[in-house]
Amino acid sequence: MSSQEDLILQIQNLKVRFPMKNQSFVHAVNGIDLNLYKGDSLGVVGESGCGKSVTFSGVMRLIESPPAVIEGKIIFNNQDLMKLSPAEMQKIRGKDITMIFQEPMTSLNPVMRIGYQIMETLLVHENISKKAASARALELLELVEIPDAAGRLWSYPHQLSGGLRQRVMIAMALACRPKILLADEPTTALDVTIQAQVLDLLKRLQEETDMSIVMITHDLGVIADVAKRVAVFYAGRIVEKASTREIFKNPLHPYTVGLLNCIPTIETNTPRLQAVEGNIPDAADFPPGCPFHPRCEKATDICHREEPLKTTPSKNHQVACHHI
């Protein structure tokens, strides 16, 4: 699973900062290292503002720079995506690496029938006839289990429910059989039953192909369902990384422990509004030392002073905390 030859994407020391009016910066992403393997399913979890979307929008080269300042490497197919021209990146984006978002209308064109939108993706990236593209568009709607796919192929997005629109977006993302699907909170805007159906669909599609999927979410419950590995983000960093089983059985970082304690159970039922005690830090003004120390019960002097390095307490388990 994690052999070098199965390595498909390497994010190396990715940093993204956005300039603000007063000469300072929002430090959104602060040195992310992450590998993705063939057939991988990686869950990315962390509170709002911790840099999840910026990291993967960065991978897709969707962040305008300047003004943003971006450093680091994104290695895919032995090339650094950061160094590609916009035209070269365009060939990879939407074909080999695709992304789906929380709100389908950010990707769907409201005035274009869904069948045409899927066909357009195919015609841009693949050398096929219009007829073949239209047949494939229908196949894709069937693949994502849209009922009466033939009847809906020429609908406009607004004629579909939110859940169906999300399925159309997944169909578009899968059109060119991508190697990597980045799913940024794809189910958060949906109600719970539809959410479960869309997650099941993504899980099945991932298992049936050798596609790798990154599932970005606030919700460790979602991670438990779909991901084999987890990266826990905090303040634009990865504070813990391990297999999903290991994270649930043996969480080491106090922040991960806090997140796990907040998963609603049948007994408590109601999810808490704020996952972990204390305030989410402001990316324009991170505290010195370990960024989690103001919220951490274990914090001691060193945590106020020095940022913890990553350690590997057991195989495939990495954590950045002074108290491990």
Residues that bind ligand ATP (CB under 6 A): 18, 26, 28, 46, 48-54, 218, 283
Nearer to ligand ATP, 93 or 218 (CB): 218
Nearest approach, Cβ of residue 185 and ligand ATP (Å): 6
At residue 261's C-alpha, the angle toward residues 255 and 262, to 5°, is 95
Beta-sheet strand order (sheet of 41-45): 97-100, 180-184, 212-217, 41-45, 229-234, 237-243, 317-319, 311-314
Nearer to Mg ion, 134 or 166 (CB): 166
Q: Which does 59 bind (CB under 5 to 8 A by kind): Mg ion, ligand ATP, none?
A: none
Nearer to ligand ATP, 20 or 124 (CB): 20
Nearer to ligand ATP, 115 or 186 (CB): 186
Nearest approach, Cβ of residue 214 and ligand ATP (Å): 12
Q: What's the CA gap between 200 and 226, in Å, rounded?
A: 8
Q: What's the CA gap between 54 and 16, in Å, rounded?
A: 8
Nearest approach, Cβ of residue 51 and ligand ATP (Å): 4
Q: What's the CA gap between 177 and 29, in Å, rounded?
A: 29
Work out the widest C-alpha separation in the chain, in whole angstroms: 67
- Kindly state the helix (H) or strand (E) to which residue 134 belongs, with its residue range: helix 130-143
Q: Which does 51 bind (CB under 5 to 8 A by kind): ligand ATP, Mg ion, none?
A: ligand ATP
Nearer to Mg ion, 185 or 246 (CB): 185
**Part of the chain binding Mg ion (CB under 5 A), chosen from 50-58, 91-99, 143-151, 204-212:** 50-58
Nearest approach, Cβ of residue 146 and ligand ATP (Å): 27
99 close to 173: Cβ distance less than 8 angstroms: yes
Nearest approach, Cβ of residue 321 and Mg ion (Å): 24
| Residue 45 backbone phi and psi in degrees, to 5 | -130, 150
One-letter amino acid for residue 134 of the chain: S
Nearest approach, Cβ of residue 290 and ligand ATP (Å): 18
Nearer to ligand ATP, 26 or 190 (CB): 26
Where in the chain does DSSP place strands (E)?
A: 7-19, 25-37, 41-45, 69-76, 79-80, 97-100, 180-184, 212-217, 229-234, 237-243, 311-314, 317-319
Q: Which does 18 bind (CB under 5 to 8 A by kind): Mg ion, ligand ATP, none?
A: ligand ATP
Nearest approach, Cβ of residue 101 and Mg ion (Å): 9
Q: Which does 28 bind (CB under 5 to 8 A by kind): ligand ATP, Mg ion, none?
A: ligand ATP
DSSP bridge partners of 30: 15
**Part of the chain binding Mg ion (CB under 5 A), chosen from 48-56, 73-81, 150-158, 224-232:** 48-56
Could you report how far apart the first and last alpha carbons of the chain are, in Å? Answer: 27
Nearer to Mg ion, 49 or 287 (CB): 49
Nearest alpha-carbon partner for 142 in 103, 114, 112, 168: 168
Question: Which positions ≥6 away from 259 have C-beta within 8 Å?
Answer: 45, 220, 232, 275, 276
Q: Which does 283 bind (CB under 5 to 8 A by kind): Mg ion, ligand ATP, none?
A: ligand ATP
| 53 counts as binding Mg ion under rule CB under 5 A | yes
Nearer to ligand ATP, 67 or 288 (CB): 67
Nearest approach, Cβ of residue 18 and ligand ATP (Å): 3
CA 220 to chain centre: 13
Q: What's the CA gap between 245 and 21, in Å, rounded?
A: 44
Residues in touch with Mg ion (CB under 5 A): 52-53
